[in-house]
Structure 1
Amino acid sequence: MWLIMMLRNNLARKRRVLLDGPYGYANLGDNAIAYCMSSFLTKAGIDVTISCLNPDYIEKSIGLPTLPILDFKTLSTSVLKAIGEFDAIIVGGGQQLQEHPVPNPFFGMFSRVCHMARVAKALNVPFIAWSVGMDWPLSPLARLMARHYLGSDNVTLILRDGKSYDHACSMLAGKSCRILHSKDAVFMLANFLSDDVTRSTELNFTRNKRLIVSPSIIKPQQGLRKMVELCEEAAQLGYEVKGWHSEIRPGYDLKVREMVDWGTIPGFEWLPPNPIDTNEVASLLSSASLLLTTRMHPAIIAVAQGVPAYGIATNLKMRSVFDELSMPYTNTEDLEALNFHDIVESQFEKSFSMAQQFSANAELGGEQVLKAAFVDA
C-alpha cells in the first residue's frame, strides 16, 4: 500500500492508463477482472480508460471511459493510435496469451497483445500484462512474435499461474523484459464490493439452503446428466436449486439448457442470464449456501465471499485452479461416483483461507503493476 500512497501524494499530474482485455462480451468472469483491476488503479489515483469488446456495456457497468478493442478483422485499430496518449498500457487478466487455432500474425488474443506491445515499444510506453495466462505449446510464429515484441525492457509480464510463468521464462530467456507471478485479480473483489453486497454476504449462512449450479458444456454429455442427478439429490434434501451462467456468449454455456432435462429437478429455475455488473454477480453468488460449478471465476467470487464452492474439473486448467485454491472438486471422469452427500461433507474451510492469501497476493500484483508503470519506467 505504500506505493499507492506515494503515487497519490507525489504525482505532479494524474497518470493515465489504458486497461485492455476481452471485457463486456457476456463473460462475467472477464468483466469481474476489469472491475477489480480498474478499481485498484482508480483507488491509486490513476485515470483509467478501458479498451474492450463492448464499450457501451463497460461504460454503463463500470462507469469508466472506453475504447474499442484492437480487431484487425473489423479494421478496428483506433486503439493503436491512442497508445501514445497514455502513461502505461495494461493488458489485464484472462488467458490472453492464447494463440488463434490457425497460427497467424494478426488474429487471436496473442497476436493482439503482441501488436499492442509493438506500438508501446515504438513509443517507449510501459507495457504490462497483468495476471494473464499463457497457452502452451505456442507455434514458432507466436514464439518469434513474443521474443520480438514482449521481450523488450519496457515490458513487464505478470503471469497468473506457475505453468504460465515457467513457460514465459523459458520462451523469453535472455530478453530484457521483467517476468513476475501474481494471483488472479478477481481475488481482490471483496475489497471493492459495495456495502450492500458485503452485508448480504455476512448474512449468507443464516439463509435457507440454496444451491446455485453453474454448468458449462461437459463431454461426454453424461456428465451433465450427472449434474442434474446431483441437483435432484439436493432438492430432496431441502435445497432450493437455481441455475446460472457466467458465460453467456452464443454457442457456449447456454447450450446446456437444451442438452439435458433440467425440469426433473423439483422447483428448479434458471436465473436470468443477461449481463449484470460485478456487484450483482457477487450478490447473486453470496445468496447461495453452496455453489456447484465448472467455471473458474464463479468459484473465485464465491469462495472470496466465504460461500462454499464445489468444482467439476472439465480440463487441466480447472484442475490447476481448484488445486491451487484447495477447493474440493471432482474430475469429469470420476463424476459418476459422486453423490450430493459427498459434496456437502467436503472440507471448504481451507479454500476460504487460501482465498484470503490469494487476495493479498493479488494486491501485491497490483503494486507490481504500479511499480512497472510509474517507478521502473
Structure 2
Amino acid sequence: MRVGIVGWFGSDNLGDEILLHSLITCVRAVKENASFVVFSPNPGRAAELHGVETEHMPVLRARGASDRQVAVQRAIKSCQLLILGPGTVFQERSPNLSWPGTLPMFARIVAMAKLAGTPVATVGVGVREGGTPVGRQLLRIVGASCLAVGVRDKRTASHFGPSAEVIGDMAYTLPLPALERADPGRRFALSLRPLGPDVEGPLVATTVGCVDRLRQEGWLGTFLPMAFGRGAHGEDDRVIYERAFRDRLDLDSTPLDGSRPLAGALRDWLQSLATNQLVLGTRLHAALLAVAVGVPTVAIAYERKVQDAFVDLGLSEYVLPPDVDAETLYRTATAAAASTELFREAAGRVAAQGRVAQGFVTALVKRVD
C-alpha cells in the first residue's frame, strides 16, 4: 500500500516532525510494508528525517512550478490514499502568510487527487483562527470531497461539517518509552517561540520574571528549542534563547540535531522531558508531550489551538493568555507543580485520545486497502 501525506514537514519544527512520525507509525501498525510519499515545502530534509520518498508541494509561484505540478500529479496517482495533515495545515493568514494562505493549494491538491482517482482524507488537522466566510465555504467543499475527516479539536470540526470526527492531536499516538522517574531535584523546562513584537516583548519580560523567581528558589532550568525555522521566517526558537535566557537556562538537546535516527532520539528526548517537575511553554507540542509523560505543565496560548487542547484535556486553569503578568504565571506554575496527581490523570486522557486517533487511522487504512 502506498500513502501520500501532505503537510508542513521538513521545516525543522519538532512538533510537525513528531506528527509525521506518529502518522507513519500508525499506518505501519496496520500495514507493515506501507510505503509513503510526503509532499513538503522542504522535501530533502523530510526525506532525511523520516526515510521516505518526498515531493515538493505544488505551489504555483516557484521556479519550475509546472514541472512540480506534473511530478505531484504523478505521485498522487501512484497512491492508494492521500492524507492531508496532520497539523494546522489549513491557514488563510498567519504571521508568514497573506490571504488566502494555504487554502487554494489544498483545494488544488484535492482536485488533483480526484482527477487521479485517489481517495483523500484528513487526519488530525487544525484550522488557524481568523478565517473568512469564503475560506469557511472552501473548507466545507474540501471536507465533502474527503473519504473521512479526522480533525484535532471541536472548533476545527465546526469548519468541516457533520462528517468531521474529533480524533485529537496525532502526537497523542506517539509511543512513549518506559519512563524512569529518578528524582533529580527541582527541575523545569521552558519552551518559548518567537512571536509578533507587540506580544513577544512583554511575554519575554513576564517569563524572565517567573524564571528568575524559580531560580532564586533553587529550581534548575533548561530551554527547549522546538523549531529552527528552516525555510520559515520568525520560527527559530534559539533567537529567543540567545536574547533572553542564555545566562539563565541551559539549552536542551534536540532530536533534530541529526546525530541519531529520529525515532531513537525522540525516545531519549521524551525520557529527558519526563525528568522535569514543571514545564512552561508556548509551543503546543512541548506542552502536550509534557502532559503525555505526566509532567505538570503551564501552557501560554499564543494561538487558539493551545487553549483548545488544554481545555479538552481538563486543564483549563493551567493555560494562560500571552499577556499574562509575571506574578500570575509564577503562581500558576507553582500550583501546577504541586498538582502531580491531576497531571497523571491528564496523561491518562492523552493516552485514551491517542487510542481514538490510532483507531481512526486503522479504520481508514483498512477501508482503502
TM-score (normalised: structure 2):
0.82
Q: How does 1:37-56 map to 2 (within 5 A)?
A: 37-45=23-31, 46-56=34-44
2:180 maps to a residue whose letter is L
* 1:349 aligns to 2:335 (yes or no): no
Alignment partners' CA distance in 1, 2:7 and 2:117: 21
Cα contact 1:246–1:298 (8 A) shared by 2: yes
- 2:106 aligns with 113
* 1:251 aligns to 2:205 (yes or no): no
> Runs (4+) of structure 1 moved beyond 6 Å?
none
Q: Deviations over 1:245-269 (max 9, x none)?
A: 212214233332455x43553xx23
Range that drifts further, 62-71 or 339-348: 339-348
The 3 A distance-change label for structure 1 pair 165 and 242 is same
- 2:168 aligns with 183
Alignment partners' CA distance in 1, 2:207 and 2:253: 20
The 3 A distance-change label for structure 1 pair 132 and 317 is same
Cα contact 2:73–2:116 (8 A) shared by 1: no
The CA deviation at 1:128 is 0.6
The CA deviation at 1:376 is 6.7
- 2:323 aligns with 333
* 1:365 aligns to 2:357 (yes or no): yes
* 1:158 aligns to 2:142 (yes or no): no
Range that drifts further, 268-277 or 220-229: 268-277
Alignment partners' CA distance in 1, 2:48 and 2:253: 19
The 3 A distance-change label for structure 1 pair 139 and 334 is closer
The CA deviation at 1:90 is 0.7
The CA deviation at 1:339 is 5.7
Cα contact 1:311–1:330 (8 A) shared by 2: yes
Question: Which of the numbers 26, 36, 39 marks the counterpart of 2:22?
Answer: 36
Matched residue of 2:285: which SS? helix
Cα contact 2:278–2:296 (8 A) shared by 1: yes
Cα contact 2:22–2:171 (8 A) shared by 1: yes
The CA deviation at 1:38 is 0.5
The CA deviation at 1:280 is 4.9
Matched residue of 1:332: which SS? coil
Cα contact 1:205–1:289 (8 A) shared by 2: no
Contiguous gaps of at least 5 residues in structure 2: none
Q: Deviations over 1:130-156 (max 9, x none)?
A: 01112355335434544444423x532
TM-score (normalised: structure 1):
0.80
The CA deviation at 1:236 is 2.0
Alignment partners' CA distance in 2, 1:274 and 1:203: 19
- 2:184 aligns with 207
Alignment partners' CA distance in 2, 1:263 and 1:119: 48
Cα contact 2:39–2:54 (8 A) shared by 1: yes
The CA deviation at 1:165 is 0.7
Q: Deviations over 1:316-354 (max 9, x none)?
A: 332222222233233233323326465233224334323
The CA deviation at 1:306 is 1.9
Q: How does 1:1-377 map to 2 (within 5 A)?
A: 15-45=1-31, 46-74=34-62, 75=65, 76-77=68-69, 78-100=71-93, 101-104=97-100, 108-136=101-129, 138-152=131-145, 154-169=146-161, 178-189=163-174, 191=175, 193=176, 198-199=177-178, 202-217=179-194, 219=199, 221-249=201-229, 250-252=233-235, 253-257=237-241, 259=243, 261-263=244-246, 265=248, 268-271=249-252, 275-276=256-257, 277=262, 278-327=266-315, 328-338=318-328, 340=330, 342-346=332-336, 347-375=339-367
2:14 maps to a residue whose letter is L
The CA deviation at 1:223 is 2.1
The 3 A distance-change label for structure 1 pair 285 and 25 is same
The 3 A distance-change label for structure 1 pair 69 and 288 is farther
- 1:3 aligns with none
Cα contact 1:243–1:269 (8 A) shared by 2: yes
2:207 maps to a residue whose letter is M
Alignment partners' CA distance in 1, 2:239 and 2:3: 37
Cα contact 1:121–1:149 (8 A) shared by 2: no
